[in-house]
Chains A and B, each alone.
Chain A
Amino acid sequence: MSLPPSSPVAKAIWSGSIPILFTLDDNELCGRGVDMGLMIEAQRCSYLPLLAETVRDHFVRTGQVSGPGEIWFHYKGTPLKWHYAIGLLFDILGLQASNNCAAEGLLPWNVTVNFQNYPGDKLIASCADSNVCKDAFMSMIKEADYLRNGTTKKVMNLSKADQTQLWDGILKHDYNRFWDVNHRLVLNDGAAPRHLPVRIYLPGNSPVIQEPFIPADEQDHPRTLRQILNDALPALFPLEDDATAGHAAGALIHGVKPSLETSALWAAQNMAYADNFLHLVIVIE
């Protein structure tokens, strides 16, 4: 087993976390229960279904909830898509929605917990099932592989043990376990990727922008974040920085705004989420 490459940026991203205060929805509080929230330091690169059991246990133990029910979460009325990484959810619903790139005032993140009326028309089933969460995660990993190589052979050829280790690294939040397998995917065993796995989130629940972005130009120079954002959103991200434009748009990832001159390939290799995608959340000043 070779050692995973040590990228200080990748390590810092893996360690990113957000304090979340989980409170039961007012409408669901049992008569005799004590209104007591649960504070969790949640990993940005992890997923809500992996916290579901801990959250449920708390609310059952404190007598606030009795009986079964499908858990789901919302923030200010918006159901939280559990197949999105926790960090991505906060970037969109916390930072982007408040048009505020600083997290002060938004933390701890106040997330409401529900056990009734699962909104099947808005949320994929089902939030508490970690197997469904794993399937959704592996689906993204395959798609990223396809974008890089035009085939999903690399992922499909991972041994059962390696596939298990990948997910296990997420479950246990173990950087070495995860990156030991993941580096082969993200660094593509040294082969230049055809396209970069990127998803772009505009404000206001717009459809997610997903296009195959080319990592290098005809002279084989790495393209920048600005150039790939220009591919997708030319009006918001002109190639020449226009000082007279008035509105500056930026891209948030893991709660920070990298310079738009960053190499997109480098960003894809060092700043991707665990699912191998660069999830860029657009903020407009």
Chain B
Amino acid sequence: MGRPAQSYLSMTQITADQTKFHRPPQQLDHGTQALLDDLSGEYGHILSEEDEQVSEITDPAVAEEKPTDAYLSVSYHIIFSPSYQVPVLYFNAFRPDGRAISLEEIYESLVPEAWRSSVRNAGLSGGISQQDHPILNVPYFYMHPCETVSLMETILKNQEQDRSRSFLDSYVSTWLSFTGQAVGLSLPHASQIVLENQ
């Protein structure tokens, strides 16, 4: 039909299933943390239209140590919203047997406890809900973009202008570290994400 191919930035993260253990979110062990560090280095590039890159972290050592039903595989996709003109974070979480988890379980497992009530009370109906993934056309959880617009305006206004980085650079890393944290995405070096291929 002549439509240009659309792409999105995708990342999968293994995280502890808090609904199993009812404990506060744990620090990831060194092995998994190192894998995430490598991945955040790789995701320093914003993809051009033609690319789609999907990576998955699987550390067999980690999987063997703990019971397999204690982990969730979380997929994060970053897609640009044409209506709101901001990036939007879509995500889904699955148990090892492939079963998806519910909204309540998302709050328990991915949203840091300190953030839970602000995320739940954001906007008209809470900061996280389900929507058709704009490209895959299946249900994904997402963070409401209307909150992003005003939030980013506030954060960037107050941020020290770092002259060594472009505005776009600061915007994406700030947005990603904030939004990502709200839903359990660990990118320890997010502040060092460098944009290429703009």
Contact = CB atoms under 8 A, between A and B. Distances in A.
Asked if A and B bind, the verdict is yes
Interface of A: 81, 83, 120-125, 135, 138-139, 142-143, 146-147, 152, 156, 197, 202, 205-212, 233-236
B125 A138 contact: yes
Interface in B73-129: 82-85, 100, 102-103, 124-125, 129
A135 B142 CA distance: 14
Given A120-B139, A122-B139, A207-B135, 12 more contacts: A139-B129, A139-B131, A142-B124, A142-B146, A143-B83, A146-B83, A146-B84, A205-B137, A206-B3, A209-B3, A212-B82, A212-B85
B138 A121 contact: yes
B130 interface: yes
B146 A121 contact: no
Contact of A207 (B85, B103, B129, B137): B137
Given A146-B83, A233-B3, A208 B134 contact: yes
A264 B110 CA distance: 43
B6 interface: yes
B100 A124 contact: no
B1 A202 contact: yes
Contact of A236 (B1, B82, B103, B139): B1
A122 B138 contact: yes
Contacts of A81: 132
8 closest Cβ contacts across the A-B interface?
Answer: A235-B2, A135-B125, A124-B130, A124-B139, A207-B135, A211-B82, A143-B83, A152-B146
A197 B83 CA distance: 9
Q: On chain B, which size bracket covers the interface?
A: 20 to 34
Main secondary structure of the interface of B (DSSP, over half): loop
B137 A120 contact: no
A233 B1 contact: yes
A213 B138 CA distance: 25
A235 B135 CA distance: 21
B82 A124 contact: no
10 contacts: A135-B129, A138-B124, A139-B124, A202-B1, A207-B136, A210-B83, A212-B82, A212-B85, A233-B1, A233-B3
Contacts of A124: 130-132, 139
B100 A120 contact: yes
Contacts of B131: 124, 139
B1 A235 contact: yes
Interface string B135-161: 111110000101000000000000000
Nearest to B85: A212
B100 A146 contact: no
Contacts of A135: 124-125, 129
A193 to B, nearest CB: 13
A238 B135 CA distance: 25
Given A124-B139, A208-B137, A147 B83 contact: yes
Contacts of A235: 1-2
Given A146-B84, A210-B83, A125 B146 contact: no
Contacts of B125: 135, 138-139
A124 B1 CA distance: 28
A219 B151 CA distance: 36
A205 B136 CA distance: 10
Nearest to B92: A121
B2 A236 contact: yes
A147 B6 CA distance: 21
A122 to B, nearest CB: 6
Contacts of B100: 120-121
Interface in B1-58: 1-3, 6
B1 to A, nearest CB: 6
A145 to B, nearest CB: 10
A206 B135 CA distance: 8
Nearest to B135: A207
A46 to B, nearest CB: 19
Contact of B139 (A121, A138, A142, A147): A121
